[in-house]
């Protein structure tokens, strides 16, 4: 029986250094074997025994590697994931999965044909704020949901030093970037919508790619608004949920990313635990009484994603995020851009 999964990273920028390598190194289910480093050779500063590869082909040629993590620029996801699958590797792809839903479907079909696991790193499913909202809805504390709003706002005055994030090509912009997270969260909470309407803009004069969006998802009895901007110095609540019995208002939190950037060990007892100041407000009817109180947050942990992927590879259990779920996200993004250009509601 295979004892651990040997992993190759496709890059060691912020994504590799912050979101992947620490969890791989802390898990006995994985062994980080190699990383493709195009210019700067940095991985051995943190992980001495990891092989630094000069090319992607060199990385894929390492026979011991079982799993490739494709955490490269969005427009390369399809090409690199396809090459990894054809090389006989399981694959995790950073969000957004692909630039088009057609590319996503091709990769999903290829993975099935080759009997390889293919997942997408939708890590925000494992954030405390989202898990808390999901718990409130699962416990039916608000009655029948009527309206929901999810924000992922930031205040970013300058352009990213990563040129590929600021180059106006398909697959680049705020909707593909942060939008991939909150669209996925909406689909997890409410399922697939019947239609989409969107307003997508460039609001900063320095930007060449979209840095603001509002997407409206239509369901038979629910309306879900998804909003994000890079011009929000003072941020509003991340989640606003209204139901027939009450409401839940939850601040957006980013505690795991902040801890990872700060170098806090992921095995700390308080990992993924929100402060009481980040608790949401639950205002609802419970047991014939009106209650308005802070609702304790659920702990989050990105390590759970990696553990579930390992179980899927080693024991053939279900993947935590499937290619099909990720294709649904890209389908919404495509509909949103079509809606924005046509100024029409797009039926799905």
- Asked if residue 87 is part of any domain, the answer here is yes
If asked whether residues 82 and 99 sit together in one domain, one would say yes
Output the CA torsion sign for 290, 253, 70, 49: negative
If asked whether residues 203 and 135 sit together in one domain, one would say yes
Q: What is the CATH number of the domain that holds 130?
A: 3.30.360.10
If asked whether residues 79 and 177 sit together in one domain, one would say no
If asked whether residues 112 and 133 sit together in one domain, one would say no
If asked whether residues 177 and 295 sit together in one domain, one would say yes
**Average pLDDT for residues 184-191, to the nearest whole number?**
98
Tell me the pLDDT tens digit for each residue of 257-306. Answer: 999 998 888 988 889 999 999 999 999 999 889 999 999 999 999 999 99
- Asked if residue 327 is part of any domain, the answer here is no
Tell me the pLDDT tens digit for each residue of 205-246. Answer: 999 999 999 999 999 999 999 999 999 999 899 999 999 999
- Whether 1 has a pLDDT exceeding 60, the answer reads no
Task: From 121, 148, 163, give the residue that closes a domain.
Answer: 121
If asked whether residues 154 and 222 sit together in one domain, one would say yes
Q: What is the CATH number of the domain that holds 22?
A: 3.40.50.720
**Token couple for 142:** 């608000």
**Average pLDDT for residues 3-32, to the nearest whole number?**
95
If asked whether residues 229 and 251 sit together in one domain, one would say yes
Tell me the pLDDT tens digit for each residue of 147-168. Answer: 999 999 999 999 988 888 899 8
Task: From 121, 143, 161, give the residue that closes a domain.
Answer: 121
| pLDDT for residue 269 | 83
If asked whether residues 295 and 162 sit together in one domain, one would say yes
If asked whether residues 184 and 276 sit together in one domain, one would say yes
- Asked if residue 233 is part of any domain, the answer here is yes
- Identify which of 186, 309, 181 has the alpha carbon closest to the alpha carbon of residue 240: 186
DSSP 263: T
Determine if residue 324 is left, alpha or beta; phi over 0 gives left, psi from -120 to 50 gives alpha, anything else beta.
alpha
What is the domain extent for residue 47? 5-121
- Asked if residue 313 is part of any domain, the answer here is no
- What share of the chain has pLDDT > 70, as a percent? 99
The model's confidence at residue 172, banded by pLDDT at 50, 70 and 90, is very high
**Token couple for 127:** 């954030």
If asked whether residues 148 and 274 sit together in one domain, one would say yes
**3 state SS for 89-158:** CEEEEECCCCCCHHHHHHHHHHHHHHCCCEEEECHHHHCHHHHHHHHHHHCCCCCCEEEEEEECCCECCC
Structural domains counted in the chain: 2
Task: From 121, 141, 161, give the residue that closes a domain.
Answer: 121
Tell me the pLDDT tens digit for each residue of 48-66. Answer: 999 999 999 999 999 999 9
If asked whether residues 48 and 103 sit together in one domain, one would say yes
If asked whether residues 51 and 98 sit together in one domain, one would say yes
The model's confidence at residue 2, banded by pLDDT at 50, 70 and 90, is low
The model's confidence at residue 9, banded by pLDDT at 50, 70 and 90, is very high
């Amino acid at each position: 029986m295979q004892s651990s999964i040997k992993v190759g990273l496709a890059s060691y920028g912020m994504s590799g250094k912050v979101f992947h390598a620490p969890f791989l190194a802390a898990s006995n289910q994985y062994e980080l074997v190699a990383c493709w480093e195009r210019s700067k050779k940095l991985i051995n500063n943190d992980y001495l025994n990891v092989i630094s590869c000069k090319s992607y082909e060199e990385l894929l040629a390492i026979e011991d590697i079982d799993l490739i993590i494709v955490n490269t620029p969005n427009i390369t996801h399809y090409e690199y994931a396809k090459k990894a699958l054809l090389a006989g590797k399981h694959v995790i792809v950073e969000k957004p999965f692909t630039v088009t839903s057609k590319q996503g479907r091709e990769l999903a079909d290829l993975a099935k044909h080759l009997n390889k696991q293919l997942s997408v790193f939708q890590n925000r499913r494992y954030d405390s704020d989202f898990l808390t909202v999901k718990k409130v809805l699962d416990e039916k504390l608000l009655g029948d949901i009527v309206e929901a709003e999810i924000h992922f706002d930031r205040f970013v005055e300058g352009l990213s030093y990563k040129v590929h994030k600021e180059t106006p090509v398909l697959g680049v912009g705020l909707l593909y970037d942060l939008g991939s997270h909150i669209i996925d969260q909406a689909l997890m909470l409410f399922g697939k919508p019947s239609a989409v309407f969107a307003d997508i803009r460039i609001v900063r004069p320095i930007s060449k790619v979209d840095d603001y969006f509002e997407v409206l998802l239509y369901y038979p009895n629910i309306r879900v608004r998804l909003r994000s901007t890079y011009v929000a110095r003072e941020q509003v609540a991340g989640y606003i949920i209204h139901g027939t019995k009450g409401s839940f208002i939850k601040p957006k939190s980013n505690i795991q990313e902040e801890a990872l950037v700060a170098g806090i060990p992921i095995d700390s007892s308080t990992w993924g635990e929100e402060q009481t100041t980040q608790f949401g407000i639950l205002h609802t009817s419970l047991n014939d009484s009106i209650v308005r109180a802070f609702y304790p947050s659920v702990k989050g942990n990105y390590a759970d994603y990696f553990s579930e992927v390992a179980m899927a590879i080693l024991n053939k259990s279900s993947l935590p995020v499937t290619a099909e779920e990720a294709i649904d996200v890209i389908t919404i993004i495509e509909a949103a851009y079509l809606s924005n250009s046509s100024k029409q509601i797009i039926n799905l």
